[in-house]
Every structure is written in C-alpha cells, then in structure tokens.
C-alpha cells in the first residue's frame, strides 16, 4: 500500500515540486504516473524511496509513516522496493551477475540462494546467457532489462520504475511494460512513471496525472484528449 496525504515537497531552492498531492495505491495494484517533464514524477518516486522527505503531508508505505522513519530504517524500506531507474544505475566494474546479485548480498542472503535467484531473474528478462558479461558492453535495452532483473531479484512487494522505456523503441517498450504487468499479476504493487501516453492507453491501468506538481487526474484509464495534446508538445 502506498498512500500520499496532502504531500508537498519544496526544495531548498524554493521550487515546489509537489503541491498537496493525495492518492492511495492498494497492495497489488498497478498504476502509471504521468505528466510532462518537470511535473514532479521523479520527486514523487523519490519520496517513496526516501531519497527525499516531504516538506508537508504524510507518505505512508505499508501503514508505515515515512516521516517517522529514522535513517537507520531507510535501508530496510528500500529492500521492499525494486526500483528501475531511468539511467539504469548499473555498476560497470562488475559482471551482469554481480549487478543483479547486489540487492541479495545487501539483504544478507545465503550464497546458494543468491545463485538460484539471480539466474531466475536473469532468465526472466532473457539475459541468462549474458550473466558473465560486463553491462557496459550491452545495448541500452539490455541494460534496462538488467536493471529490471536487479529490481525484482529479491521479490520485493513494490516495484517502482522511472521512465523505464525512456530511450527504447516501441517494441522494446511494449515488452518491458508486459514484464511489469506480469509482475503485477503475481501480486507486486507496481508504479511506473512515464510520459509514453500511447503505451498507457493500451495498458488499461489507473493513471495518476501530475501537472506542475499538482495531481490533476487520478483513476481514468483513458487520457483526456486535451491533456494528451498538451503533453505531446513537451
């Protein structure tokens, strides 16, 4: 469960990235977070990941108030979330296998379990045959899939993705979205930030629409055509 209760985020620079945002995402739900660039999508995800803290209002994850979470407990929260970053955040000083194994090592899994789970996750994104390679030598789409494998390897209850299809062609994008959908079907709460409206329209899931930091749409599966054209401009 992810819940925002009148959340405002103001950066030190004075810029208000989110203003009075409220919504609730049930456990096992899948939703899109959309809006033009700079609308506050990344900030919203950062608040969930505790990379930032809300200036006002409350963010709840699993009935846990994030404002009350001490720095010591932040790592435990992050272990509950698989995050697919726009820029992959992969480490190029180690193999694909070691990149995907990182969340398991961090969480203290036994090495035997690690091997099994990493291969399972890599198999899932169809990159098992490249486990020994350096991610730097792989294509952008493959790097993105390694990022997804790493996000799901410890079977987290939440999966967050920030523009996961940002620089991929439509076919690859559709496949990645299909993958997220499959994770959702087995119970993972999925929140995908994207501005790929065509993709969203095809997926028939709930959409949270941000504009200049405010939540202007919540729930509609289909984009209002007015918003649609507005966002095409950006």
Partner 1 sequence: MFKSTKVNRRTGESRSSGQGISAPHHSFANRIRSWRSHHRLVASQSIRRLIATPVSSMMTILVLAVAITLPAALNIAISNVAQLTGQANDNVQMSLYLQNDISDKKARKITADVSRWDSVSGTRYISPQEAKASFNDMEGFAGIIDSLPKNPLPGVIVLTLSEHSLSSEKAINLKKKAMGIKEVASAKIDLEWLQKIHAILGLAQQVSAVLTVLLSIGVMLVVGNTIKLSIDNRREEIIVTKLVGATNAFVRRPFLYMGLWFGIGGALIALALISLCKYALTSALESLSLAYGGEIALSGLGLTNSLVLLVLAALLGWLGAWLAASQHIRALEPR
Which residues make up the interface to partner 1 (CB under 8 A)?
27-28, 49, 51, 62, 72, 75-80, 83, 85, 89-91, 93, 102-103, 105-111, 120-121, 123-126, 150, 152, 154-157, 172, 175, 178-179, 182-183, 185-188
> How many CB atoms neighbour CB 38 within 10 A?
14
Cα-Cα-Cα-Cα torsion 49, 228, 147, 31, nearest 10 degrees, comes to: 50
Record the tokens describing residue 68, joined without a space.
């009350």
Of 78 and 195, the one with the shorter C-beta distance to partner 1 is: 78
Question: Strands 16-25 and 2-10: what pairing?
Answer: antiparallel
**Smallest distance, Å, CB 146 to partner 1?**
12
| Least CB distance to partner 1 at residue 109 (A) | 6
Query: Which of residues 177 and 223 has its CB atom nearest to partner 1 in the complex?
Result: 177
Which two tokens mark 107? 């969480």
Residue 134, exposed/middle/buried by CB under 10 A (0-12, 13-18, 19+)?
middle
* Smallest distance from partner 1 to CB 186, Å: 4
Tell the smallest beta-carbon distance from residue 75 to partner 1 (Å).
Answer: 4
- Residue whose CB is less far from partner 1, 123 or 228: 123
Closest residue by Cα to residue 181 from 193, 172, 189, 169: 189
Closest distance of CB 227 from partner 1, Å:
30
To the nearest whole angstrom, how small is the minimum distance from the Cβ of residue 148 to partner 1? 10
d(CA 99, CA 184): 23
Whichever of 62 and 232 has its CB closer to partner 1, that residue is 62
C-beta of 22 vs 89, nearer to partner 1: 89
Helix (H, G, I), strand (E, B) or coil at 112: helix
* CB 160 within 8 Å of CB 81: yes
Q: Which is nearer to partner 1, 82 or 213 (CB)?
A: 82
- Write the Ramachandran bin of 219: left for phi over 0, alpha for psi from -120 to 50, otherwise beta: left
């Amino acid at each position: 469960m992810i819940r925002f209760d009148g959340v405002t985020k103001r950066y030190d620079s004075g810029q208000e990235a989110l203003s009075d945002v409220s919504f609730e995402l049930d456990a096992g739900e899948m939703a899109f977070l959309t809006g033009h660039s700079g609308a506050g999508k990344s900030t919203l995800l950062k608040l969930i990941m505790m990379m930032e803290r809300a200036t006002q209002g409350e963010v709840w994850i699993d009935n846990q108030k994030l404002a009350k979470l001490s720095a010591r407990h932040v790592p435990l929260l992050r272990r509950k979330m698989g995050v697919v970053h726009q820029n992959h955040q992969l480490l190029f000083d180690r193999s694909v296998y070691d990149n995907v194994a990182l969340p398991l090592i961090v969480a203290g899994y036994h090495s035997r379990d690690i091997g099994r789970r990493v291969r399972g996750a890599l198999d899932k994104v169809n990159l098992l045959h490249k486990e020994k390679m350096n991610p730097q030598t792989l294509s952008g789409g493959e790097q993105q899939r390694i990022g997804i494998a790493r996000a799901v390897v410890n079977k987290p209850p939440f999966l967050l993705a920030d523009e996961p299809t940002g620089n991929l062609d439509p076919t690859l994008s559709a496949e990645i979205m299909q993958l997220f959908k499959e994770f959702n079907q087995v119970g993972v709460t999925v929140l995908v930030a994207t501005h790929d409206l065509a993709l969203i329209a095809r997926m028939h899931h709930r959409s949270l629409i941000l504009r200049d930091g405010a939540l202007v749409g919540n729930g509609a599966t289909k984009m209002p055509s007015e918003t649609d054209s507005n966002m095409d401009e950006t």
